[in-house]
Chain A
Amino acid sequence: MSEPVKVLGERRAFAPLLTVEGLQVRYGAIQALRGVSLQVGKGEMVALIGANGAGKTSTLRAVSGMLKAAAGRITLEGKDTTSLKAHQLVPRGMAHAPEGRGIFPNLTVQENLELGAYLRRDTARIEQDMEKGFTLFPVLKERRRQLAGTLSGGEQQMLAIARALLSKPQLLLLDEPSLGLAPQVTETIFRTLREVNATGVSVLLVEQNAHLALNAAHYGYVLETGEVVMAGAGKALLESAEVRRAYLGE
């Protein structure tokens, strides 16, 4: 139904974790995704770039079960998860830090983190993992008794990531972590993301800031009006003239 996807560069070999095939999503009469296919391997960081309205957020939402797929198939570790709801995917290792951070401003930082571990019963390990989160983002420890709504934008993003990690995910979905943040804060967050990824957590990252995303990711997909139009190794996409023109403003 669509033109073949242009593929650039070599993909490093990872064992498959998430596979999306021909995913379609509709909002009423509007078709947001027209058959998106992509893969994320175990331990891989994959970036999804594209303009506003290209379908990046819809893809993440469908993968995490927030949106129903109109067609297509999503598998996580070989098991079909297409029809599962968001809360059923968390115990299978999915964590989604949604667009606009999605923290609970009416709860304290501590309570937000505890909700990240909502399904876990291993209290002692949760405590350890929370400490781990505090070493990633020390500012959260200082503010653990504060209402999350009083945090700055950067701190809220850190909280969203720390909270997502507390569910002990295999796959972390991140929607625009750099949105509205100062460059230094963004840098801190991306450095931490790479650290997290290096511990074996796979990441599927949606970003408007293509430069940032493709630099950090092993592999990238370019979305345009609900379709994947290009794919390739992060560095290869960064060097491609088309990507540079369309998404890096050159």
Chain B
Amino acid sequence: MSQLLQHLINGLASGTIYALVALGYTMVYGVLKLINFAHGDVMMVGVYMGYATAFALGREAQRSLWGVVVIFAVAMGGCALLGFLIERFAYRPLREKPRLTALITAIGISFALSYGFQLDIGFLPGASPRAFPEVIVPTEWFIVGDRDVVVWNWQVISFLIAVTLMGALQFLVYRTRFGKAMRAVSWDHRTAALMGIPTDRIIALTFMLSSALAAGAGLLYAIKDTSVSPLMGLYVGLKAFVAAVIGGIGNVPGAVVGALLLGLVEEFVVGYAASTWRDAVAFGFLILVLLVKPGGLFGRVAAEKV
């Protein structure tokens, strides 16, 4: 019983991180119908930005509350800028071209970032993973019985940060003028423009928002994993993409539910079967969901308009 509880806690902790990344896939898909395969790699760049900031701050400062705030702010702000640049110069010129062109461009950017960061020149970090500094010094916050259930401080903090960011996003999408415009663009950007909505600006802001969320998620992941590497974006990005598809891509609550389910499934496989099975079961779960509900759990299978 206590083992089950422990797995639930761990699963939720990683699920909320996946959710933040998955939301980025789903939002960009929502407004552009583009699977932004570079999304995970933008996250990775954000983690390196946080990593560099932590070092610049030094060992004392990086562990203080304001230090952590600065690390998150730099990474999220830097990624928002990166997301803006990618959209502006890679995707926007292809907006009216066949969708496949943008998709291949996204894959290209993904590889450019993940392999570019393995170079060892200038500021680029090189291929080998590095230890991510302990910006949140691990402490056991709740212990049940004889260490039957352990809840770490970073799990709670990471959960709270993720839930706060998701709540903010929910508010933004469903309660603000920007969110209304975003939902209009996601239905049909041509009609949205007829309302006077500057669609290019809304799309750019969506990219910035999703990239900033990814940077936040990436930092939480790096804190959990205590490491950062150029390939982490491909791995985490793929998992989050799977989560978004399970929930129904383009659907905001779906991405969260899909990510939590994926986090739990992975955790239970590791806990009760074997960790080597984790990825196989994760992708098997995706196939299973798509067999039963091809549009994902919350997605609608849209009939093609003729």
Q: Which A residues form the contact surface with B (CB < 8 A)?
A: 64-66, 85-87, 90-91, 95-96, 98, 102, 104-107, 111, 114-116, 118-119, 163, 167
Return the contact of A107 from the options B177, B183, B190 (Cβ within 8 A).
B183
Whether the pair A90, B194 counts as a contact (CB closer than 8 A) is yes
Whether the pair A115, B193 counts as a contact (CB closer than 8 A) is no
Q: How far is the CA of A86 from the CA of B188 in the complex (A)?
A: 13
Whether the pair A118, B194 counts as a contact (CB closer than 8 A) is no
Q: In the complex, how many angstroms separate the beta carbon of A68 from the nearest chain B beta carbon?
A: 11
Asked if A91 meets B196 with Cβ closer than 8 Å, knowing A107-B184, A115-B180, A118-B181, the reply is: yes
**What chain A residues lie within 8 Å of B183 (beta carbons)?**
104, 106-107, 111
Question: Which parts of B165-214 form the interface with A (CB within 8 Å)?
Answer: 177, 180-181, 183-184, 186-188, 190-199
Return the contact of B190 from the options A66, A116, A118 (Cβ within 8 A).
A66
Q: How far is the CA of A148 from the CA of B177 in the complex (A)?
A: 18
Whether the pair B194, A104 counts as a contact (CB closer than 8 A) is no
Whether the pair B187, A105 counts as a contact (CB closer than 8 A) is yes
Asked if A115 meets B197 with Cβ closer than 8 Å, knowing A104-B183, A106-B183, A107-B180, the reply is: yes
Q: Which B residues form the contact surface with A (CB < 8 A)?
A: 177, 180-181, 183-184, 186-188, 190-199
Where chain A touches its partner, the secondary structure class is: loop
Q: How far is the CA of A96 from the CA of B177 in the complex (A)?
A: 21
Return the contact of B196 from the options A66, A90, A104, A114 (Cβ within 8 A).
A90
Whether the pair B196, A119 counts as a contact (CB closer than 8 A) is yes
Return the contact of B198 from the options A87, A102, A114 (Cβ within 8 A).
A87
Asked if A104 meets B190 with Cβ closer than 8 Å, knowing A87-B199, A118-B196, A119-B196, the reply is: no
Q: How far is the CA of A87 from the CA of B190 in the complex (A)?
A: 9
**What chain A residues lie within 8 Å of B181 (beta carbons)?**
115, 118
**What chain B residues lie within 8 Å of A106 (beta carbons)?**
183, 186-187
Q: From B202, which residue of chain A is reached at the shortest CB distance?
A: A87
Most buried by A among B181, B186, B195: B195
Going nearest first, the 9 A-B pairs with the smallest beta carbon separation are A90-B196, A86-B193, A119-B196, A102-B191, A87-B193, A115-B195, A118-B195, A104-B187, A96-B194
Q: How far is the CA of A153 from the CA of B192 in the complex (A)?
A: 20
Most buried by B among A85, A86, A107: A86
Q: Supply 17 further A-B pairs (C-beta < 8 A) apart from A105-B187, A106-B187, A118-B177.
A: A66-B190, A66-B193, A87-B197, A87-B198, A98-B191, A104-B183, A104-B184, A104-B187, A104-B191, A106-B183, A114-B180, A115-B195, A115-B197, A116-B195, A118-B180, A119-B196, A167-B195
Q: How far is the CA of A96 from the CA of B195 in the complex (A)?
A: 8
20 contacts between A and B (CB under 8 A): A66-B193, A86-B190, A86-B194, A87-B193, A87-B194, A87-B197, A87-B198, A90-B195, A98-B191, A102-B188, A104-B184, A107-B183, A111-B183, A114-B180, A115-B180, A115-B192, A118-B181, A118-B195, A119-B196, A167-B196
Q: How far is the CA of A114 from the CA of B190 in the complex (A)?
A: 17
Q: In the complex, how many angstroms separate the beta carbon of A107 from the nearest chain B beta carbon?
A: 6
Q: How far is the CA of A205 from the CA of B25 in the complex (A)?
A: 41
Q: From B198, which residue of chain A is reached at the shortest CB distance?
A: A87
Whether the pair A118, B191 counts as a contact (CB closer than 8 A) is no
Q: In the complex, how many angstroms separate the beta carbon of A197 from the nearest chain B beta carbon?
A: 20
Whether the pair A66, B180 counts as a contact (CB closer than 8 A) is no
Q: From A101, which residue of chain B is reached at the shortest CB distance?
A: B191
Q: How far is the CA of A115 from the CA of B184 in the complex (A)?
A: 8
**What chain A residues lie within 8 Å of B177 (beta carbons)?**
118
Asked if A98 meets B194 with Cβ closer than 8 Å, knowing A105-B187, A106-B187, the reply is: yes
**What chain B residues lie within 8 Å of A102 (beta carbons)?**
188, 191, 194
Q: How far is the CA of A89 from the CA of B304 in the complex (A)?
A: 31
**What chain A residues lie within 8 Å of B186 (beta carbons)?**
106
Q: In the complex, how many angstroms separate the beta carbon of B186 from the nearest chain A beta carbon?
A: 8
**What chain A residues lie within 8 Å of B196 (beta carbons)?**
87, 90-91, 118-119, 167
Q: How far is the CA of A154 from the CA of B187 in the complex (A)?
A: 20
Q: How far is the CA of A31 from the CA of B33 in the complex (A)?
A: 29
Q: In the complex, how many angstroms separate the beta carbon of B89 from the nearest chain A beta carbon?
A: 20
Q: How far is the CA of A111 from the CA of B186 in the complex (A)?
A: 14
Q: In the complex, how many angstroms separate the beta carbon of B250 from the nearest chain A beta carbon?
A: 10
Q: In the complex, how many angstroms separate the beta carbon of B290 from the nearest chain A beta carbon?
A: 23
